[in-house]
Amino acid sequence: MLQKIYDWIDERIDITPIWRDIADHEVPEHVNPAHHFSAFVYCFGGLTFFVLVIQILSGMFLTMYYVPDIENAWNSVYYLQTEVAHGQIVRGMHHWGASVTIVMLLLHTMRVFFQGAYKKPRELNWMVGVLMFFIVLGLGFTGYLLPWDNKSYFATQVGLEIAEQVPFIGPEIKTLLAGDAEIVGAQTLTRFFAIHVFFLPGALFALLAAHFVLIRRQGIAGPL
C-alpha cells in the first residue's frame, strides 16, 4: 500500500533521485570517528544542527503559552514555568539550548577555520556560515527581551543605546528596532518578538538550506 502511494508520487514528480542523493553518498574515512577518533571534530556541525532543531521545536511549543505583551509576558512565562507540567523543562531547553548553540557553533567554526576548510572552492559556504553565526547572535539578543524581566529590559536598553551611537543613522536604527524613539515598551516587545520568531528564523532556514546544498555539491574538504 505504502509502496503504491510512493510509486504513484514518484512517477509524477520523480522524488527518488532527491533522497537517493542524500542517502547513498559515501562518507570518506577521514571524517569517520570509528576509524580515527580525532575525527570527532567533524561532529560539531551536525550537533549544532541538532541543537537548532531543539531550539525550533521548543520555541514552537513555548509560543503556545507565551504572549508578547508587556502586561502579560512575564506572567505568562512565570505561569508556564510554575504551573504547566514540564513547562520548566521546555523553557530550560530553549534557554540552555541558546547557550549550547553558541558553544557548538563556535567549535564548528574553529574546526573549519583551523583546518583551512574554507579555502577555494568553499569560500561561499564559509560566508553563509558566518552569516548564520550573526543570525544566531541576533536570535540570542532578541530572545532575552521576551520574558520581560529586569534582565531583559536593561540588556535591551543597553543594546538599543549602542545602536543609537552609530553615526548618522543611529537614532533611526534605534527607533526601527524599538518601535518608538524613547520608550522601550509594548512596541519594542512586539517587534523583538516578530524578529525573534519570524524574521531571523526565516533567514536562518534559507541559509541553512544553502549551507547543506553546498556541502552536498562540494563534498567534505579532504584530509589535511
Partner 1 sequence: MKSGKGMKFVGDSRVRAERTSQIPKDYSEYPGRTEAFWPNFLLKEWLVGSVFLIGFLTLVLAHPSPLENVADPTIIGYTPLPDWYFLFLYELLKYEFASGAYTLLGILVIPGLAFGGLFLAPFLDNGPGRRPPKRPVAVLMMLLGLTAVVWLTYESAAAVDWEQLAEDNEIVLADEVDIDEDDPGYEIYQDNCMSCHGGSLEGGPAGPSLLESEHDVDEIKEIAVDGIGEMPSGIFSGSDDELETLAEFIVDVTGDDED
Partner 2 sequence: MSEKKQQVSRRQFLNYTLTGVGGFMAAGMLVPMLRMAVDPVLQTSEEGDLKSVDLSVDDITNEPQLVEWKIDQVDGWYESEVTKSAWVFKDDNGDIIAHSPVCKHLGCNVTWEGSEKYPNEYFCPCHDGRYYKDGTNVPGTPPLAPLDEFDQKVENGMLYLGKAKPREEA
Q: Which residues here bind partner 2, judged by CB under 8 A? A: 50, 53-54, 57-58, 61, 64-65, 72, 75-76, 78-80, 83-87, 89-90, 93
**Chosen from partner 1, partner 2, none, partner binding at 198 (C-beta under 5 to 8 Å by type):** none
How far is Cα 129 from Cα 115, in angstroms, rounded to an integer?
15
**Rounded (10°) CA dihedral 32, 33, 37, 38:** 60
How far is Cα 146 from Cα 66, in angstroms, rounded to an integer?
9
Contacting residues for 173 by C-beta, under 8 A, at least 6 apart: 163, 164, 166
In the complex, minimum distance from the CB of residue 223 to partner 1, in angstroms, rounded to a whole number? 7
CB distance 144 to 73 below 8 Å:
no
Using CB under 8 A as the binding rule, whether residue 30 contacts partner 1 is answered as: yes
Nearer to partner 1, 1 or 120 (CB): 120
Q: Return the C-alpha cell found at 192.
A: 523583538
Nearest to 86 by CA among 108, 65, 114: 65
In the complex, minimum distance from the CB of residue 131 to partner 1, in angstroms, rounded to a whole number? 8
In the complex, minimum distance from the CB of residue 45 to partner 2, in angstroms, rounded to a whole number? 17
- Interface positions, 184-213, toward partner 1 (CB under 8 A): 184
Nearer to partner 2, 13 or 85 (CB): 85
In the complex, minimum distance from the CB of residue 50 to partner 1, in angstroms, rounded to a whole number? 5
- Interface positions, 31-60, toward partner 1 (CB under 8 A): 32-35, 40, 43, 46-47, 50-51, 54
Nearest to 136 by CA among 178, 173, 103: 103
In the complex, minimum distance from the CB of residue 131 to partner 2, in angstroms, rounded to a whole number? 26
